[in-house]
Amino acid sequence: MKLPPLSLRIKLILSFLAVIAFGGLISLVIGWRLVKNTLIGQAQLKVKHDLSAAWMVFNERLNNVKDLVNLTAARESLQLAVQEGQADVIFKYLDRVRRSYALDFLTLTDAHGQVVVRSSNPHRVGDNQASDELVSLALAGTTVASPQILSAAELQKESPELARRARMKILPTPKAAPRQENIETRGLVLKAAAPLINDQGRTLGALYGGILLNRNYEIVDRVKEIVYKYEKYKGREIGTATIFQHDLRISTNVRNQNGGRAIGTRVSAEVSQAVLVKGQPWIDRAFVVNDWYITAYEPIHNLKGEIIGILYVGMLEKPYLDTTNRLMLTFTGMASLCVVVLLILLYFSTTRIIHPLQEMVTATQRIAEGDLSHKVEVTSADEIGQLASSFNAMVDKLQAANQKLIEWGRTLEKKVEERTRELTAMQAHLIRSEKLASLGKLAAGIAHEINNPLGGILIYSHLILEDTDKNSPHYENLKKIVKETARCKDIVKRLLEFARPREPEFSLLNINEIVEKSLSIVERQALFQNIKIIKRYDSHLPKTVADGAQLQQVFTNIIINAAEAMDGQGTLTIQTATVDNNLHISFTDTGHGISEEDKKRIFEPFFTTKEVGKGTGLGLAISYSIIQKHHGTIEVVSQRDRGATFIVKIPVRTNQDE
Ligand SMILES: Nc1ncnc2c1ncn2[C@@H]1O[C@H](COP(=O)(O)OP(=O)(O)OP(=O)(O)O)[C@@H](O)[C@H]1O
Ligand SMILES: [Mg+2]
C-alpha cells in the first residue's frame, strides 16, 4: 500500500522532532551517566570518610585496651602483690579490672614470660608466652598494642569460652573465592601488653590483655551508630560495618536473608584479591552478602605488618540509584514537556513558513486555470518573501507575454483574412486578365482582318448614297447600310482600342477637372435631360500623374452606363475624395442596379445586358484595363433595383515612375 504524500508541515515537524529526539536522547544518556557518576562519586567520597571514622572507633578501642593494660601494670599494689607472690590478690585484682572494663582476657606473666595469673581461666597457668611478639616486647620494657590472630589453642588457654566464641562455620557466599576448610577456629583479638617494672627498674613480668572481636559487635555497631545513626531506607539499614578475619566476616551488622548478622560469610573474590593479596584499599561498588553496596575496604595489619583482616564500611547503593532514577525521571519528564511545548511552538512557526508557500501553491493553481491577475502577498523580506516577489514578477511577465500572444493572434487572424481576400481578388483578377488577353488576341485578329474591307464598304456605300436620289427606293436602304457599317467600324475601332491599347501619356492632373470635362461632353445629350447630377468634389484633392484623355474615357463610360441604367431619369451623384493616399472617384446612380450573377462578369469584354445593337459590352472592359495601367482598381457596390456605385481608385502619384 502506498502512503499518501506527507505535507510540508508534517515533514518539517518530523525532521525537527527527529533532531530534538536525537539530541534529547543523547543528553538523557549523558545526563544520566553524569548524575549517576556524580552521586556515586559523592557516595564513594562519603564512604571513604566513613571508613576513617570506623578506623577511629577501631583504634580507639585498641588504645583503650592498651591504656587499661598499661595503667593496670603500673599499679603499685599489683607490683607489690607480684613481688610478694600473692597470687590470690593478683587474681582478684585482675579479675575485677577485666570484668569492669569488658576485657576478654587479662593475664600476667613473670619476667620469663611464664603465665602466673590468668584472670579469665584461673586454673590454666604456667605456660610460657615469651614467644608472643607483644609479650616479648613488653618483657623488653615496651607497652604495645595491636590486632592479632590467636590460634584455637591460645584461645582455649585464655578461656574455653573464647575458643567457643571464635569457632565459626564458614558459610558458602556468592562471589567469594573458594576456600578449602569449612570451620574457622582461630580468633582476631585487639591485644595490648605492658611491662611490670618496680621502683628499682627491674622487670617483674608482663601484663597482657585484650578483647576477642569474633561475634563481638561493639565496634561495628558503634561505627554504624556514629556514622549512619541507624538510618534506614525502605526498612533496610543503609550503613553497614564489618571486621573480617582474613576474608571471613567475624563481626558485622550486614544482615543475611533471615535478618541475622551475616557471620561466617566471606568477602567477594575481587575485594579479597585487591585488599588481602595486594594490600590496597578498595573503594567501589561491591556485592555484599546479597546486595550491592558502595563500599570501602582497608586491610588490618598485625604488629609485624602482615595483613590479618579487613575493616569495611558500606552504604546501600539502592537509595543513590533510586535518587538518580528519580532525578532522571524528573529530567525526562521535563524534557518531554519541553518537547511538547517545542512541538506546539513548531506548529505555529511552521504555519508562518508554510502559509506563504500555500498561498503560492494556490496562486500557481489559479494561474494554471488561466487567472493571470492573481498575486501573492509579500509579507516578509526573507527567502520566502523574495520567492513571492519573484513569483509576482514572473506572473506579470507571463501576463504581458500572454497579452501579446492574444493580440498577435488577433492581428494574425486579421492579416490572414486580409491576405485571403487579397489572394481571392488576385486570383479573380488573374483569371480575368488571362481571359481578357486571349479574347483580346482573338478580337484584334478579327478586327484587323475586317477593318480594311469595312473601310472600303463604308467609303463605297457613302459614295453610292451621295449619288442616289433621295426619292429613290434604295436611298433609305443605302442610308441604313452606311449607318450600320459606321457602327461596325466603330465597334472594330473600340475592339482594336481594347486589344491594342495605346500606352498612356502621363502628366500631372487635377482629377476633379477631368471629371468635369467628361460630364461636359455627355451632359448635353438627350439622355441626360431628366437626370439630376450632384457633384461633391474634394476641393483639396491632390494632383496626380495620369493620362487625362484615357481617364476621361473611363469616366464618360461609367457616366453613360449610369444614365442608361436609370433610363434617363434619376440622380447621379459624383464624389471625389482622398483615402489613404488614394484618390476615390465614385459614381452613384439610382438605376436598376446589377445582380450578383452579373456583377462577376461586367468587366468581361462583350458582356452586356443591353439589347442587340445598343451595347458592345466593351466599355467597362476598356475602362478596367486603363485604370489598371494607372495602378488602380474599379470596384462596384450594387444590388438589383437599388442603384449602383462605381468607385475608381487610383493612387496619388507625383512622379510617373513611382
Ligand atoms: N450603372 C449601371 N447600372 C446597371 N448596370 C450597369 C451599369 N453600368 C454597367 N452596367 C451593366 O454592365 C454591362 C456592361 O457595361 P459596358 O459598359 O461594358 O457595356 P455596355 O454599356 O453594355 O455597352 P457599351 O458600353 O460597349 O456601349 C451593361 O450591359 C450593364 O448591364
Ligand atoms: Mg457601357
- 126 in a domain, yes or no? no
Indicate if 496 and 507 belong to the same structural domain.
no
For residue 558, the CA-to-ligand 1 centroid distance in Å is 8
Report for 142-151, 217-226, 407-416: range of highest mean pLDDT:
142-151
- 287 in a domain, yes or no? no
- 221 in a domain, yes or no? no
Q: What angle (nearest 5°) sits at the alpha carbon of residue 565, between those of residues 564 and 569?
A: 75
Ligand closest to Cα of 601 equals 1
Listed in order, strand segments (DSSP E) in 26-114 are 105-110
pLDDT of 657 reads: 67
For residue 434, the CA-to-ligand 2 centroid distance in Å is 22
Indicate if 496 and 509 belong to the same structural domain.
no
Q: Which residues, listed in sequence order, are joined to residue 577 by a DSSP beta bridge?
A: 584
- The reply to whether ligand 1 has any atom less than 6 angstroms from the CB of 195 is no
Give CA–CA dist 93/76, Å, rounded: 12
Give CA–CA dist 187/105, Å, rounded: 13
Q: Are 594 and 638 in contact (CB under 8 A)?
A: yes
By most ligand atoms within 8 Å of CB, the mutation choice from 590, 610, 611, 648 for ligand 1 is 610
What's the grid cell of residue 378? 509579500
Ligand closest to Cα of 564 equals 1
- The reply to whether ligand 1 has any atom less than 6 angstroms from the CB of 544 is no
Indicate if 537 and 409 belong to the same structural domain.
no
Indicate if 493 and 522 belong to the same structural domain.
no
What's the grid cell of residue 84? 610478694
The set of residues, in sequence order, having a beta carbon less than 8 Å from that of 90 and lying 6+ positions away, is 78, 81, 82, 108, 116, 117
pTM: 0.54
446: domain CATH number? 1.10.287
Indicate if 507 and 656 belong to the same structural domain.
yes
Tally of domains in the chain: 2
Q: Count H helices, E strands: the chain?
A: 15, 21
CA distances from 388 to 12, 351, 366, 383, 395 (A): 20, 16, 15, 9, 10
At 629, give phi and psi (nearest 5°): -65, -25
- The reply to whether ligand 1 has any atom less than 6 angstroms from the CB of 589 is yes
Task: Locate the ligand 1 atom nearest the alpha carbon of residue 558 and give its number.
Answer: 8
- Helix, strand, coil % over all residues of the chain, rounded to 5: 50, 20, 30
453-457 average pLDDT score:
88
In tens, the pLDDT along 243-268 reads: 999 999 999 988 888 888 989 989 88
Give CA–CA dist 126/465, Å, rounded: 216
pLDDT of 285 reads: 84
Task: Locate the ligand 1 atom nearest the alpha carbon of residue 643 and give its number.
Answer: 3
**Which of 500, 520, 551 lies at the terminal end of a domain, its last residue?**
500
567: domain CATH number? 3.30.565.10
pLDDT of 32 reads: 82
Render 422-491 in DSSP notation, one character per residue: HHHHHHHHHHHHHHHHHHHHHHHHHHHHHHHHHHHHHHHHHHHHHHS-TTSTTHHHHHHHHHHHHHHHHH
Give CA–CA dist 255/537, Å, rounded: 141
- 402 in a domain, yes or no? yes
- 589 in a domain, yes or no? yes
Helix H or strand E encompassing 314 = strand 307-316
Phi-psi group of 141: left, alpha or beta (phi > 0 → left; psi -120 to 50 → alpha; rest → beta): left
Indicate if 399 and 469 belong to the same structural domain.
yes
For residue 570, the CA-to-ligand 2 centroid distance in Å is 18
Q: Are 631 and 624 in contact (CB under 8 A)?
A: no
By most ligand atoms within 8 Å of CB, the mutation choice from 561, 594, 648 for ligand 1 is 561
pLDDT of 90 reads: 94
Write down the mean pLDDT value for the chain: 89
- 579 in a domain, yes or no? yes
For residue 622, the CA-to-ligand 2 centroid distance in Å is 10
In tens, the pLDDT along 75-117 reads: 988 999 999 989 999 999 999 999 999 999 999 999 999 999 9
Q: Say whether pLDDT at 496 is over 80.
A: no
For residue 533, the CA-to-ligand 1 centroid distance in Å is 19
pLDDT of 149 reads: 96
At 646, give phi and psi (nearest 5°): -105, 125
In tens, the pLDDT along 627-636 reads: 999 999 999 9
In tens, the pLDDT along 147-171 reads: 999 999 999 999 999 999 999 999 8
Indicate if 442 and 548 belong to the same structural domain.
no
The pLDDT > 70 percentage for the chain reads: 98
Indicate if 566 and 643 belong to the same structural domain.
yes
Task: Locate the ligand 1 atom nearest the alpha carbon of residue 620 and give its number.
Answer: 18
Report long-range pairs for 127-131 (Cβ below 8 Å, ≥24 apart).
127/157, 129/206, 129/208
Give CA–CA dist 89/91, Å, rounded: 5
Task: Locate the ligand 1 atom nearest the alpha carbon of residue 608 and give its number.
Answer: 29
Q: Say whether pLDDT at 430 is over 80.
A: no
**Which of 457, 481, 500 lies at the terminal end of a domain, its last residue?**
500
Indicate if 450 and 564 belong to the same structural domain.
no
Q: Which residues, listed in sequence order, are joined to residue 233 by a DSSP beta bridge?
A: 236
Phi-psi group of 234: left, alpha or beta (phi > 0 → left; psi -120 to 50 → alpha; rest → beta): left
The pLDDT > 90 percentage for the chain reads: 49
In tens, the pLDDT along 365-423 reads: 888 888 877 777 777 777 778 888 888 888 888 888 888 998 998 999 999 999 999 88
Could you give the 3-state DSSP secondary structure of residue 544? strand
Q: Say whether pLDDT at 230 is over 80.
A: no
Give CA–CA dist 587/643, Å, rounded: 10
- What stretches of 75-159 show up as alpha helix (H) in DSSP? 76-83, 87-100, 133-139, 152-158
- The reply to whether ligand 1 has any atom less than 6 angstroms from the CB of 610 is yes
Q: Which residues, listed in sequence order, are joined to residue 579 by a DSSP beta bridge?
A: 582
Report for 25-39, 78-92, 607-621: range of highest mean pLDDT:
78-92
- 11 in a domain, yes or no? no
| Weakest mean pLDDT among 123-137, 430-444, 544-558, 576-590 | 430-444
- 431 in a domain, yes or no? yes
**Which of 476, 500, 524 lies at the terminal end of a domain, its last residue?**
500
Q: How confident is the model at residue 436 (pLDDT cuts 50, 70, 90)?
A: low
Question: Does 5 or 618 have the greater pLDDT score?
Answer: 618
Indicate if 466 and 552 belong to the same structural domain.
no
- The reply to whether ligand 1 has any atom less than 6 angstroms from the CB of 487 is no
Indicate if 418 and 555 belong to the same structural domain.
no
Protein residue closest via CA to atom 9 of ligand 1: 561
Q: Cβ–Cβ contacts within 10 Å for residue 288, how many?
A: 25
Q: Say whether pLDDT at 477 is over 80.
A: yes
For residue 627, the CA-to-ligand 2 centroid distance in Å is 16
The set of residues, in sequence order, having a beta carbon less than 8 Å from that of 43 and lying 6+ positions away, is 294, 315, 317, 320
- The reply to whether ligand 1 has any atom less than 6 angstroms from the CB of 561 is yes
For residue 561, the CA-to-ligand 1 centroid distance in Å is 5
pLDDT of 431 reads: 80
Full domain range(s) for residue 557: 503-658
Indicate if 468 and 523 belong to the same structural domain.
no
- The reply to whether ligand 1 has any atom less than 6 angstroms from the CB of 562 is yes
